[in-house]
């Protein structure tokens, strides 16, 4: 889902991250949160990243999600240029995402990035954490989050008996 | 700083984490954000953790910071019991905090924890990210964050010439 | 195998863990140990986990096996709510189970989890260690364990000549 | 504490492990569990380890705790020679105990070792897990474990307010 | 190749290691070194391992190669029972052989295991190092090793031009 | 040593890196290579980093050395803004510099950073590699590098006899 | 592409590295940089490596790229025998290239190797860094590098809109 | 101890390794094995290393021990230039010796290095493994090794009772 005044900007370092990051897109859509998804590289297109982040902030975005792999600088670069909450998603890599995770999470004091799990779980959870942040001023969204938790719980319980 | 209707609940798994987590406390205080700090263990006092989290949410808390080391389950346990944004801070450990980091960040899809860096940088940044979240409905706080960034930048520039 | 008064409760964090954890089920069945298997998440269904553990203890369970992957909190959450011996099995993951292992084994002093190997070997061995614990008051089971060891040894010897 | 018919045998690979393993000794003593502590090496004194394990089993020991560092084979060697529950404690090392942990926990299917945390927390928890196992046929010990949990919980609560 | 008075005993912890360890077998055969290959487990068949090692030493074996994976204790157990040179080969595993490597190489002072690379390269090199050891009293074998090096070098040179 | 038209710009992410990076400074000085040292953060002062890099390139700098720790993005940010050769030095950290190393070296195809060792050895070698690059159009510097190698070799040889 | 007076020598430790290292070859060709590719092993053909490096230097080579996996000594051996800039590319391995990376990058002070990322990204970037070094005395090449960056940026931007 | 016709050559990459490698020296001396110790760098003095190795082989050396840290190439370089058995000892490092271990042990098929533990245990064991190799044609030394094992065992037994 995409929107002219997106609340959430979903950035990823490479088009090949879409396979994973579409789960963030779908999760945001599920909560009807206006958002846009863009693939831009912190290293190949730094100026475009900075410009996009600034514009998003001006246009009313409230959270930025940034996903990257390897020497994953995207979330850090974004965080350096905004006071919005920035959420990082480490992509899988030749080192199983350990490099992506450390490059995203080990930020120095002063510029925070809230980092989620490596890969798909992180993509889903970044969207959920964005929703939780937006819900601070949106009681409808709070209710949707509670419903989601309840539904999720019910699904687990229904499938809990084994074998 | 502490307050009867805290906006941020700062939890840590052990009293010995205070040495590091006081930096979260000080950073929140610097932004005049009402908050409380508590040391409770996800393993030794699970009922108390759950109760504290529920009460905090009822009393108007908007963000929860949870710090723990080793098999660091505190942030995950907290996140399982609230729809508030939960921020995790991995404490240093016998394995240099790698176990704490992985136990905090590798949450399954459905229950997000936004994880910050291991140790002091993570403590400071959890507070800053909490401030960024609260600032979404507090334009004064937005300005304070911008001022903080500017100040931080100026300090770096002043000290940039070496040797 | 399942039973109304199970001696062993086999919990796993996700239905997808069954592929591995059926080896615990089969090993317990081999020793005719009454047990039940359930898939419940420490994060998505914490209340159900706690309730199941309490009931199991009341109904005469003597050992609990808990398997989970990633930020694997299940065994720790279970151990926090029972004085029964708790055995943890780390599931494979995007990080080859290293995160699951550290999240399961690095418990703080006070709440023990006896952790087995990552994956299938751990599933089998959790069942065997449960049997060894139950055998402390069941001399038949002791004999069965000795027979199992003998049989296992014989199989190895029979196949020892190479190529 | 030591006793002619110990219920728990506490083995460690080197006398230098005593510094850590005395916490297992103290924890067992706290629960009045008869036990003996011995330092024997799986590599330098394999025959003595095997003999001690056999004798312990004959003399009524019910649990064996084995602590070692580096290529930590002690728990595995012990487990290969007994059907008693064997609990492993990885000692710290030049690699921060990661080698000790993997050498202890990654046992092949067929010979289980229930592994606790690296270092002091593991020493304490091995004793607690031994107590939990013994408590399966000792309701007094069950009560003592419940009291211990309660006491532990109260201590945490008493110290929970910060700063 | 196999022989009644083998100079090298090639042990592996499981029949499934043969896929890799046949490369040690082939390399020894290439140098016409009498040897036997056996699959025996340090954990499931400790007595048989010890007996085989003692007999091999009595019957004139001069080097023992021991390959195992996971908590790879085989080489250490062998080394504890012989003064012959013992060479360890870490097998691949769920953790890519890192556990096997650390369990094999991190032996305490007093009981040495000369460890080779993880997997096939280690299997080949264990055989080559065994040959180098035997060559200390066999000048023919020294010449064969020199020829092997020369041949190996020539093969590389022949194929060195790319693309 | 510093100079108005520096050939090498030595950047570090924090003033606290000077302790290590002074070894780069001293090594460059030893070869009489005009250079400047600056402490600027990729995260706290991104605009200043970019400006400094652009000016350095305009003023004739030929190599840039960038040192940082943790989520070490400095070298990558620099490399994204220049076609000059960029050399990265990972600083030690809470994870022994493993995070700094991976964040510096694992750059995506398209934007290269030549990475040196963690800590002091990396600081010295970044300066030496910068010298090797400058020497491509400075035969005097080539001779100095040959002399340095000779001297280094002589020092090792003089001290080679032990004990 | 190959040339009698190559500016860049591309070495790899094994013919099997060509699959990855052809990306260095193609990248150098794209910039019309005369170069040769050779597969020679630091361990199996050390004399040939040293000779090739010396000849390359004599014949006007200005940069050497060396790629190897496992105990990856090739770049270090090359660097020990030349004052030319040496760039190392760690190949993937049984340990995901972590061994290759550490063996290449952790050089002692005195003999620098500029190390690129593990695998294909490293192969491409070694060629780009070689181009950046050669461009120091070739303004045409500087322009080509700027064009490449521009092109690369444009490709990213064209593909940036998702889904 | 040193000798004109040493049986064992003990090489180390830096004089600073002597602190650890003196334990190899002392262990060899204890068995009256003629040996020499030299500090030479594979990177700073490659020609001297190769010359020393060749001479040692000509003069009757039978085993070479090589110790180095970081990108530890010394043992591999030595092994590339001799058919003698080569034993590697990884020195501690900024990464706790993990880099040294992987750089030493992960040799490609064709050029074996028998690797011992990181640090002091490895230094002692390299000497013991050298003794075990030499003992293949020296029955006196075989007896000395048996006596050493017996003595070592007795020392452990004497100190085995705790506390």
CA nearest E107: which of H121, H115, H104?
H121
Exposure string of E35-53, with b = 16+ CB inside 10 Å and e = fewer, is bbbbbbbbbbbbebbbebb
Asked if A86 and A113 count as a contact pair (C-beta separation under 8 A), the reply is yes
Answer yes or no: is pLDDT of G58 > 50.
Answer: yes
Residue E1's pLDDT is 45
Answer yes or no: is pLDDT of G2 > 60.
Answer: no
G65 touching chain E per CB within 8 A: no
Answer yes or no: is pLDDT of A78 > 90.
Answer: yes
H41 touching chain G per CB within 8 A: yes
**Interacting residues of E78 by C-beta distance below 8 A, sequence separation 6+:** E11, E42, E49, E53, E64, E66, E86
Range G5-24 average pLDDT: 97
Would you tell me how many other CB atoms lie within 10 Å of the CB of residue B132?
25
CA F37 to each of CA B103, C39, F66: distance values in angstroms, whole numbers, following the listed order: 39, 58, 10
Option in E152, E153, E162 nearest G37 (CB): E162
Residue C110 region by backbone torsions, left for phi larger than 0, else alpha for psi between -120 and 50, else beta: left
Q: Which residues of H touch G42 (CB under 8 A)?
A: 76-77, 80
Residue A1's pLDDT is 45
Option in C12, C38, C94 nearest A119 (CB): C94
Option in D105, D125, D142 nearest C83 (CB): D142
F106 touching chain A per CB within 8 A: yes
With an 8 Å Cβ cutoff, are C162 and E48 in contact?
no
Q: Which residues of B touch D94 (CB under 8 A)?
A: none
Residue of E nearest to C157 (CA): E40
Q: Which residues of A touch G157 (CB under 8 A)?
A: 40, 45, 48
Range H41-67 average pLDDT: 97
Residue A3's pLDDT is 54
Subunits adjacent to chain G (3 or more Cβ pairs under 8 Å): A, E, F, H
Chain A nearest-CA distance from B45, in A, is 23
Q: Which residues of C touch D133 (CB under 8 A)?
A: 85, 133, 136
Asked if A120 and A129 count as a contact pair (C-beta separation under 8 A), the reply is no
Residue percentage of chain B with pLDDT more than 70: 98
Residue D161's pLDDT is 94
Residue percentage of chain F with pLDDT more than 70: 98
Asked if H6 and H35 count as a contact pair (C-beta separation under 8 A), the reply is yes
Say how many Å lie between the first and final Cα of chain H, rounded.
Answer: 39
Asked if F95 and A102 count as a contact pair (C-beta separation under 8 A), the reply is yes
Q: What is the mean pLDDT of chain B?
A: 96
CA C23 to each of CA A59, D111, E1: distance values in angstroms, whole numbers, following the listed order: 55, 14, 37
Q: Which residues of H touch G14 (CB under 8 A)?
A: 108
Tens digits of residue pLDDT in C55-94: 999 999 999 999 999 999 999 999 999 999 999 999 999 9
Option in F39, F45, F71 nearest B153 (CB): F45
Q: Where residue A5 falls among pLDDT bands split at 50, 70, 90?
A: confident
Rg of chain G, C-alpha, whole Å? 16
Is chain E in touch with chain C: ≥3 Cβ pairs within 8 A? yes
CA nearest C111: which of A9, D122, H162, G98?
D122
Residue of A94, A95, A96, A118 for testing the chain G interface, max G β-carbons within 10 Å: A94
CA-based angle F72:F73:F76, to the nearest 5?
Answer: 130
Range E130-155 average pLDDT: 97
Q: Where residue F4 falls among pLDDT bands split at 50, 70, 90?
A: low
Answer yes or no: is pLDDT of G1 > 60.
Answer: no
Is chain A in touch with chain H: ≥3 Cβ pairs within 8 A? no
Residue D163's pLDDT is 86
Q: Which residues of C touch D115 (CB under 8 A)?
A: 105, 114-116
Range E123-145 average pLDDT: 98
Residue C3's pLDDT is 54
Helix axes B98-105, A98-105, angle to 10 degrees: 90
Residue G4's pLDDT is 64
Beta strands D161-162 and E35-39: pairing type?
A: unpaired
Residue H3's pLDDT is 54
Sheet holding C8-12, edge to edge: A161-162, C35-39, C8-12, C63-68, C86-90, C114-115, D114-115, D86-90, D63-68, D8-12, D35-39, H161-162
Q: Which residues of B touch D149 (CB under 8 A)?
A: 44
Q: Global pTM? A: 0.97
Residue D1's pLDDT is 45
Exposure string of B37-65, with b = 16+ CB inside 10 Å and e = fewer, is bbbbbbbbbbebbbebbeebbeeebbbbb
φ, ψ at B87 (rounded to 5°): -115, 130
With an 8 Å Cβ cutoff, are D118 and B96 in contact?
no
Q: Which residues of B touch F95 (CB under 8 A)?
A: 96-98, 118
G103 touching chain E per CB within 8 A: no
Structure letter (DSSP) for residue E119: S
Chain C nearest-CA distance from E99, in A, is 11
Residue of D nearest to E14 (CA): D108
Q: What is the mean pLDDT of chain H?
A: 96
Residue B104's pLDDT is 98
B151 touching chain F per CB within 8 A: no
Tens digits of residue pLDDT in E86-104: 999 999 999 999 999 999 9
Residue H124's pLDDT is 98
Residue percentage of chain C with pLDDT more than 70: 98
Beta bridge partners of E115: E88, H115
Subunits adjacent to chain H (3 or more Cβ pairs under 8 Å): D, E, F, G
Q: Where residue E5 falls among pLDDT bands split at 50, 70, 90?
A: confident
Option in G41, G44, G111 nearest H43 (CB): G111
Cis-peptide into D163, omega within 30 deg: yes
User: How far is Cα A74 from Cα B147, in angstroms, rounded to an integer?
Assistant: 24
C136 touching chain A per CB within 8 A: no
Option in D50, D79, D103 nearest E103 (CB): D103
Tens digits of residue pLDDT in C99-131: 999 999 999 999 999 999 999 999 999 999 999
CA nearest F115: which of G70, G107, A91, A94?
G107
Where chain D has pLDDT below 50, the residues are 1-2
H94 touching chain D per CB within 8 A: no
Residue of D105, D146, D156, D161 for testing the chain B interface, max B β-carbons within 10 Å: D156
With an 8 Å Cβ cutoff, are G136 and F136 in contact?
yes
Q: What is the ipTM of this complex?
A: 0.97
φ, ψ at F93 (rounded to 5°): -160, -175
With an 8 Å Cβ cutoff, are E97 and G96 in contact?
no
CA nearest B117: which of B128, B101, B129, B130?
B101
Residue D11's pLDDT is 98
Chain H nearest-CA distance from F60, in A, is 32
Strands (DSSP E) along chain F, which ranges? 8-12, 35-39, 63-68, 86-90, 114-115, 161-162
Helix axes A46-58, G139-158, angle to 10 degrees: 40
Dihedral over Cα of B143, B146, B151, B154: its sign: negative
Residue of C23, C132, C155 for testing the chain D interface, max D β-carbons within 10 Å: C132
Structure letter (DSSP) for residue B67: E
Tens digits of residue pLDDT in F36-82: 999 999 999 999 999 999 999 999 999 999 999 999 999 999 999 99
Q: Which residues of C touch A128 (CB under 8 A)?
A: none
Asked if B146 and A146 count as a contact pair (C-beta separation under 8 A), the reply is no
A146 touching chain B per CB within 8 A: yes
Beta bridge partners of D67: D12, D89
Answer yes or no: is pLDDT of B57 > 50.
Answer: yes
CA H63 to each of CA C128, C163, F124, H119: distance values in angstroms, whole numbers, following the listed order: 46, 32, 35, 19
Q: Which domains does chain E have, with CATH numbers?
A: 8-138 (3.40.50.1970)
User: How far is Cα G125 from Cα F113, in angstroms, rounded to an integer?
Assistant: 8
Range H21-37 average pLDDT: 98
- Determine the 3-state secondary structure of F90 from DSSP: strand
**Burial tier of B147 (Cβ tally within 10 Å: 0-12, 13-18, 19+):** exposed
User: How far is Cα A115 from Cα A105, in angstroms, rounded to an integer?
Assistant: 6
With an 8 Å Cβ cutoff, are A163 and C18 in contact?
yes
Residue of E20, E25, E94, E123 for testing the chain C interface, max C β-carbons within 10 Å: E94
Residue C1's pLDDT is 44
Say how many Å lie between the first and final Cα of chain F, rounded.
Answer: 39
Answer yes or no: is pLDDT of F1 > 70.
Answer: no
With an 8 Å Cβ cutoff, are F156 and H44 in contact?
yes
User: How far is Cα G111 from Cα B103, in angstroms, rounded to an integer?
Assistant: 39
With an 8 Å Cβ cutoff, are H132 and E142 in contact?
no
């Amino acid at each position: 889902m995409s929107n002219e005044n997106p609340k959430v900007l979903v950035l990823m370092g490479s088009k090949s991250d879409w396979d994973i990051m579409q789960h963030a897109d779908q999760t945001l859509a599920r909560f009807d949160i206006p958002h846009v998804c863009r693939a831009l590289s912190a290293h190949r297109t730094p100026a475009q990243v900075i410009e996009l982040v600034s514009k998003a902030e001006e246009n009313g975005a409230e959270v930025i999600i940034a996903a990257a792999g390897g020497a994953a600088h995207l979330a850090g670069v974004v965080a350096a240029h905004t006071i919005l909450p920035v959420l990082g998603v480490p992509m899988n890599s030749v080192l199983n995402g350990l490099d992506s995770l450390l490059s995203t999470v080990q930020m120095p004091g002063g510029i925070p990035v809230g980092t989620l799990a490596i890969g798909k779980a992180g993509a889903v959870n970044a969207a959920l954490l964005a929703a939780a942040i937006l819900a601070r001023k949106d009681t409808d969204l709070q209710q949707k989050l509670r419903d989601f938790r309840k539904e999720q719980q019910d699904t687990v319980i229904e499938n809990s008996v084994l074998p």
